[in-house]
Amino acid sequence: MNSPYLAAVDVGTNSFHLVVVKLLPDNSFTVLRKEKIIVRLGESASQIKHLTEEAMERGVDAMKLFGITAERMEVPLRAVATSAVREAENGEDFIERVYESTGIEIEVVSGFEEARLIYLGVIQALAVVKERIALFDIGGGSTEILVGERGTSLYANSFKIGAIRMTQRFFPKETISKNQVEKLRLFLRGELYFAAQEVRKRGPKQLIASSGTALTIAAMTLADQGITVPEPLNGVSIKLAHVHKVVKQIIKAKSFDERAKMPGCDPRRADILAAGAVVLQTIMEELGFEKFTISSYALREGIILDTVQKRAGSEGETPIHLSDLRYDTVMKIGRIYNFDEAHGIHVAKLALQLYDDLSSLHKLKDDSRELLEAAALLHDIGYYISHASHHKHALYLIQNSEMLGFNDEEIAVIANVARYHRKSHPKLQHAEFAELDSRDQHRVGVLAGILRIADGLDRTHRRVIHDIRTTYSSKKISIATETALEEEATFEYWSVERKKGLLEEVLDRHVQLQMHIPEVHRVV
């Protein structure tokens, strides 16, 4: 039974955020607890390409505290990592250390998925779900920009212009020169130019900002005007003219201590405030807005809503299929690459039938079923590049597509399953497969083995095998195929005989086909 409580952690570049909520009957939620720990995971001399030992220790300690909180409250926890872990060459080492120390599995998401999750958080905080809005979130390592309407992302992008990253690159000392500021502004305008055109042509009606940088600038502009800073700041609007004034004051300050003492400033952000403020100011200018509105909800609340939506999509359904968002994402990618849609859908149907019939044998979790469905739908998109090695091209295209609704681990599994739908079996000599952990390597083997047989069962793309029923014993897997006429399925049977080896290997049983011709089709 699903818990009425959920916890989410935003594993950010600058800080880690925990939120614990109680779910309400209408699938909204009320916040029970919030925690924030400044970790500076992305604090590195190598532009977040490598997490330092000290930073990883701080991160593990923070996750331990959050894990204890969730355990004491008996709340299931979901953690999502962003820019620092996404980019660092040793990001996987950090994830493994957290798992070994806490049992918490951290998901890594793309910048596009991060933007979508932030949007889900924003529409819970502000009554803007029916409006076309633009939003931005300035993190430590990256900044996400999105245009959304009615809960759907119309445009999303992620830029490596976070507050920590820009501080390291342009403001290495406490005192900031006019020349340094101009260099940063020019860099930001170049980075944001095409995104600004995309946002402007979609005509959003208002600009929403989330994250610590926006909250701090909002508090400082209110304090500068002599206005009491409310708690929370959610829904407060700040004019660009006031931002200009406060940014000048921040840049003019000669030290971190002087910035920290400015009214409304969060002292913990004093060392990265100037760069973050210039990023915020430039975004407003480039997107063409004279004010922004604060959302006190962001990624962590978006994780909650995304989890609720995934739960709602699976409740009462046996078996679980791809959610609407995931299915739409997969089909959009398939159509971009001109896939044989009917073949993909039929192979997915047969693969899922095989998966379900063997569920007590392979013992994979329900999320694997969804990944198999996605891989089955997309397994042939590599034909877009060329027929030769199209399975390898499929891996590349899936890994480099905007897979909204999927985290990086899931994308890697989908890509590998599609890659192994033909030719060689998974091998550690293959770089993309070797990068998976042992659990994912095992499920890639099982799912790819199933996909190979399902694809073989539609070798001619004519869907002559309508359905399958699968049973198994200690030594054998028997697949009963339903077809109109035996001779119509000759190539299908031949293909399965060639492709069944992987499933036989991973499940340690011989695979045998059994033909079934319905009475209505029998020739007397």
Q: Are residues 44 and 190 in the same domain?
A: no
Q: Band of the pLDDT at 357, cuts 50, 70, 90?
A: very high
pLDDT of residue 524: 37
Domain end, chosen from 41, 74, 108, is at 108
Amino acid letter, 347: V
Domain range for 82: 5-108
* Domain containing residue 102: CATH number: 3.30.420.40
Q: Band of the pLDDT at 516, cuts 50, 70, 90?
A: low
Q: Are residues 99 and 119 in the same domain?
A: no
Question: Within a domain: residue 35?
Answer: yes
Which ranges of 73-162 does DSSP label H, i.e. alpha helix?
83-87, 91-102, 111-125
Q: Are residues 92 and 163 in the same domain?
A: no
Q: Band of the pLDDT at 517, cuts 50, 70, 90?
A: low
CA distances from 242 to 261, 279, 289, 340, 385 (A): 19, 15, 13, 55, 52
User: Within 10 Å of residue 520's Cβ, how many Cβ atoms?
Assistant: 6
pLDDT of residue 43: 79
pLDDT of residue 371: 96
Which range, of 345-359, 398-412, 460-474, 504-518, averages the lowest pLDDT? 504-518
Question: Within a domain: residue 339?
Answer: yes
Q: Are residues 62 and 183 in the same domain?
A: no
DSSP H or E run through 168: helix 163-170
Which range, of 17-26, 61-70, 515-524, averages the lowest pLDDT? 515-524
State pLDDT tens for residues 290-307. Answer: 999 999 999 999 999 999
* Domain containing residue 375: CATH number: 1.10.3210.10
Q: Are residues 246 and 161 in the same domain?
A: yes
Question: Within a domain: residue 306?
Answer: no
302 within 8 A of 121, measured Cβ to Cβ: yes
| Spatial CB neighbours of 309, under 8 Å, sequence gap ≥ 6 | 27, 323, 325
Q: Are residues 92 and 165 in the same domain?
A: no
* Domain containing residue 256: CATH number: 3.30.420.150
Q: Evaluate if residue 240 carries a pLDDT over 50.
A: yes
Q: Are residues 420 and 498 in the same domain?
A: yes
Question: Within a domain: residue 486?
Answer: yes
Q: Band of the pLDDT at 315, cuts 50, 70, 90?
A: low
Kindly give the interhelix angle for 341-357 and 366-378, rounded to the nearest 10 degrees: 150
Q: Are residues 172 and 59 in the same domain?
A: no
Q: Band of the pLDDT at 489, cuts 50, 70, 90?
A: confident
Question: Within a domain: residue 76?
Answer: yes
d(CA 114, CA 117): 5
Domain end, chosen from 108, 127, 152, is at 108
User: Within 10 Å of residue 182's Cβ, how many Cβ atoms?
Assistant: 11
Say how many residues make up the chain: 524
d(CA 524, CA 121): 64
Token pair for 201: 């042509």
Q: DSSP character for 111?
A: H
pLDDT of residue 515: 73
Question: Within a domain: residue 210?
Answer: yes
Question: Within a domain: residue 246?
Answer: yes
Q: Are residues 103 and 133 in the same domain?
A: no
Backbone angles phi and psi of 513, in degrees to 5: -90, 140
Q: Are residues 342 and 395 in the same domain?
A: yes
Q: Are residues 257 and 336 in the same domain?
A: no
pLDDT of residue 320: 61
Q: Are residues 116 and 98 in the same domain?
A: no
Q: Evaluate if residue 314 carries a pLDDT over 80.
A: no
Domain end, chosen from 108, 135, 151, is at 108
pLDDT of residue 519: 53
CA distances from 423 to 27, 47, 208, 350 (A): 45, 40, 49, 20
pLDDT of residue 319: 56
Question: Within a domain: residue 244?
Answer: yes
CA distances from 329 to 255, 319, 334, 361, 392 (A): 48, 20, 9, 30, 21
| Spatial CB neighbours of 307, under 8 Å, sequence gap ≥ 6 | 6, 8, 78
d(CA 142, CA 165): 8
Q: What is the mean pLDDT of the chain?
A: 92
State pLDDT tens for residues 444-480. Answer: 999 999 999 999 999 999 999 989 999 999 999 999 9
State pLDDT tens for residues 115-131. Answer: 999 999 999 999 999 99
User: How many domains is the chain built from?
Assistant: 3
